[in-house]
Structures are given as structure tokens and as C-alpha cells.
Structure 1
């Protein structure tokens, strides 16, 4: 719990624990990464990594007692993303604080939620910009931008069970490391998925609880967990293997007091972060036309 007594002109209050639990329903993708501990630390404004891949195409049978002369290493393609700054200002008048002493805490909590929602949007939809031209804002590439085109599934009309199987098979064909599969969908596509299975279920236990929500779908190529997110474009379903996805911080979310210049207390909630996709092969996009 952070209190108003924590805020001094020289102190920075870390909010990394608070951001993990605030607004989970509004920010399912960010909350998922934080809950699973899929976070890393950056040391500069560009985060670079080597693509993670597995090699399965060679014969590795060996003769008893032979020397080892052939060595294998994972794919070494270099990938990177840009660290983006997220900032929300907080200003509370002296009168407001006098009337309600915890008003500053409330404002900081609201700004933190707003920051997390904006971070969620960029983690999914961000378009990469290194900030070298006007308006000089560094912007990250999001999950959709990283998706491997060979995984793509194009749909005319509505999503069917065959489309779900196809996108899972595309990911399965990539020989990925083990992980859980998640599909981020907006309301329209979620309703289409629910409709696929509307006549394929039965009620158990709670006979007064009617309705249908599809939380996961089992296929021959793995189980995909369906996650509703209002920040995914209405015409897309984004499927990913969580073993390859990380949230990277240069600066974890924090509250920084600003200089007092009048009858108000000022500060800012700030973070600097980006998305790491260990391999674009681990991300697929279904597009509905």
C-alpha cells in the first residue's frame, strides 16, 4: 500500500507490484505476461535479442564411442524492438487534499490504470518507430506487427472451427518450444467462436445458469485459450505461444513527484517498456474480411 506520506520531492515510488493487479479485465495481455513472470530488463532504448528457434531436420543417430565433431546452435537471426515511454501527469489542489487526504493516492491509482491500458494497446497494435524524426517519439512494434506471415489465416465471412484448427496447425508446423497458446480476440470474433459451439455442449450441476462462453478449444495441434480483449482490432484474432513473449522494462512503472510551484501537489506516473517476441514464428494472425 502506498500512502501520501511516501511522496517526497526526492523519492521515486515503484509501482511495479500495483500495475500487476490493477485493471486485469481491461488489460488481459499485459496482466497475463506479468502474472506469468514473462518480464525482462533492458539497458538501452533499443532492446536486441537473438531469435529463438529449434533444429529438427538432421539425423543425429551416432556410432557407439565415436568422437563428437558436429555441433548445433539455435538460429541466430537478430531481432529488436524500441523502448517506448508512457507518462501520465497527476495534479491535486491543496483544497482537494484538505477535503480528502487520500485524493492523491486515488489519482495516482487512476493514472496507473490509464497507463497500463495504453501499454496494453501498444503491446498488441504498436507500429515501430525509432523516434529519429518528428515528433521524435520512440514507439514499439506490437504483437500483430511481429506475426510471421506464413502463419496467417484469412477468413471470408465468419470464423469457423476449421479456421481455428488451421491457425493452430500453422503454429504446430513451426516446431516451436513447448508453451501455452492464447488467442486474443475482440467481442465480434469472440461471439463467432461462441456460436461455433452453441449446439455442442450440455449443462452440468448449475441447471439455472444458462449461456455459453468458450474459454478454450482443444485441437490436434494443442489447446488454445480464448482471451477477450477490447484492444484487439475487430477483424483480427491474434494467437501466440507464451513461451516466446516477454514484457521488457527499461523503467518499471513508478510515481515521480514534481516540484511544487503553487497550491497543488504534482507528479507523474511513468514507465518505459517494450515487447520481446522470441520468434515471429510463435505469433499468428487470423484476419476476417
Structure 2
């Protein structure tokens, strides 16, 4: 736990553990990624090779034959931009004297605000290397989705919609992983209504019901995540084995010079999102 006594003008306070557990309900996607750990960047552009599998039609061999054919998966080079997130903290000397924990409370609130902003960018961010605008911005989950995985529906998400998007991901021959659907309240209500009269006591009781936590399909289990930061007309489905958080600078608190009757500092982080393969992301759009 970080306390007001931790804040001095000569040290940085690492908040990477705190950000992982703070505001889980407000930032479910970011919390899921941080619970799995994160990768470390070494520059402002994070680059990786696409994670793909080779599926040759026939690899059977004659007994004793020599190996003359070698396979290398076609791997595109992908990248994302490291974005800086920063929130300032300032508490007057009077407020600090009245409540010694005031500054620590303010830092905690700013950390949550920073995490919420990261959540938004992880989902809906649009890549900008900053060469013209001066401000680097990452590309989010939606921007990386493979167009071949797109599903467009009219008015309402149905059970067939769920099956279609899961089948599209299944046909991509992805590596093992868990499937999650990020949805806003509007689409989540539509999904709940599909199963409101369909209960099954022969399975886990929260698979179906008034609130749907997961949906069993022939192509895998789809786990539902409600996030207010997903566009109201989108459902974003992804395989978690292909999605990771990346930090150049883990979240820290950095004190700023005292110039008057107040204590100042800022919470800062530099992060981006890694999508090992766009094939692992699908977007359902409701028109």
C-alpha cells in the first residue's frame, strides 16, 4: 500500500501492483490483461511478428526419407505506438494539515482515472505515431480486428450472431486460449434477453439466466465482459492468448518540485496494446 509518507522529492513510487487491483469493475479489460502480466517495451514503437500457425494439407512421410522441405509460417511485422498517460496531483498545505492522508487519497483517485483512460484507449484507440500531431496514440483492440472476422447485424444481436462470430474465429485456426466478448450495456441487455426463459440445471447455473456470464457454442465458450467504454453498437470478441498489455514505463508516482503552499506530483505511465494476430479479434456491429 502506498501512503503519504512514501512521497518525497527524491524518489519515485512504482504503482504497477496498485493499478492491477484498483477499479476492476470500471476497467475489466485492462484488469484482465494486467492479471496475466505484461511485456516490456524498449522504445516508443513496439514491434512484433504476427503469431500464426502453418496448416499444410499433407505432411505424411515415407519411412527413412530425408527432410528436404522446411516450413516457415508467413509472419507479418506488426507494431503499435506507446502512449503517455499522465494525471497531475496537487494538495494545499491546509488540506494536507487537516487530513494527512489527503494527498495519498488524491494519488489513488488519479491512478484510477489514469487506468480508466488506458481502458478506453485499449479498446477504441486510433494509432497515431505523433509525427504530425506531436502526441503519440496507440491503436486499440477494435482497430486491429481482422476485417474477415466482421459480423454486421440489423437491430439486435441474436443467438445466430454469437454462433457466427465464434465460428469465424474458430475457422482462423488459432492457438488455444479463452474467448471473451467486450460489450456495452445495450448489447449485453440484448444477449441477456436471448436466454431469459432458457435455464439449464444440468450445467453450471450461471451459463444461462437473467444475466449471461458465458455462452456455450460448438466453437468454444464465450465469456461476457461488460465495459462502459465499448461503443454502444459494438461487440468485440477476442482470444486472450493473443492480447497483451505492454509498458515502456510502468505506472509510477513522481513528486514535483514544491513552489508554494501545496504538495504536487503526477501519476504517469507509458503503455500500448499488443495483438499477436488480428485474426484473433472479431467485431460485431449492430446497425
Q: Distance in 2 between matches of 1:138 and 1:85?
A: 7
Matched, 1:6 2:6: yes
**Which ranges of structure 2 fall in alignment gaps of 5 or more residues?**
203-208
Alpha-carbon shift at residue 64 of structure 1 (Å)? 1.7
Look up the match of 1:86: 85
Alpha-carbon shift at residue 197 of structure 1 (Å)? 0.5
Look up the match of 2:259: 261
- Kindly report which structure 2 residues correspond to 1:98-247, keeping only aligned pairs within 5 A, or say none: 98-134=97-133, 136-201=134-199, 212-247=210-245
Pairs aligned (count):
281
TM-score by length of 2: 0.96
The one-character-per-residue Cα deviations of 1:130-163 (angstroms, maximum 9, x if unpaired) are 10113x1100000000000000000001000000
- Are the counterparts in 2 of residues 179 and 241 from structure 1 also a CA contact under 8 Å? yes
Look up the match of 1:40: 39
Look up the match of 2:65: 66
Specify the SS of the correspondent of 1:98. Answer: helix
The one-character-per-residue Cα deviations of 1:162-195 (angstroms, maximum 9, x if unpaired) are 0000000000010100100000000000000000
Look up the match of 1:207: none
Q: Distance in 2 between matches of 1:156 and 1:242?
A: 28
The one-character-per-residue Cα deviations of 1:237-259 (angstroms, maximum 9, x if unpaired) are 00000000000000000000000
Alpha-carbon shift at residue 58 of structure 1 (Å)? 3.1
Alpha-carbon shift at residue 6 of structure 1 (Å)? 1.4
Specify the SS of the correspondent of 1:96. Answer: helix
What is the RMSD of the two structures over their aligned residues, measured on CA atoms? 1.2
Alpha-carbon shift at residue 202 of structure 1 (Å)? 5.5
Q: Distance in 2 between matches of 1:76 and 1:161?
A: 34
The one-character-per-residue Cα deviations of 1:29-59 (angstroms, maximum 9, x if unpaired) are 000011122x100000000000000011331
Q: Distance in 1 between matches of 2:111 and 2:8?
A: 18
Look up the match of 2:205: none
- Are the counterparts in 2 of residues 52 and 75 from structure 1 also a CA contact under 8 Å? no
Specify the SS of the correspondent of 1:123. Answer: helix
**Which ranges of structure 1 fall in alignment gaps of 5 or more residues?**
205-210
The one-character-per-residue Cα deviations of 1:195-248 (angstroms, maximum 9, x if unpaired) are 0001111679xxxxxx71000001111110011000000000000000000000
- Are the counterparts in 2 of residues 130 and 139 from structure 1 also a CA contact under 8 Å? yes
Look up the match of 2:49: 50
Deviates more, 1:62-71 or 1:16-25: 62-71
Specify the SS of the correspondent of 2:174. Answer: coil
Look up the match of 1:28: 28
Q: Distance in 1 between matches of 2:68 and 2:12?
A: 54
Specify the SS of the correspondent of 1:232. Answer: coil
Q: Distance in 2 between matches of 1:259 and 1:253?
A: 19
- Are the counterparts in 2 of residues 4 and 105 from structure 1 also a CA contact under 8 Å? yes
The one-character-per-residue Cα deviations of 1:72-118 (angstroms, maximum 9, x if unpaired) are 22322000000000000000111111110011110000000000000
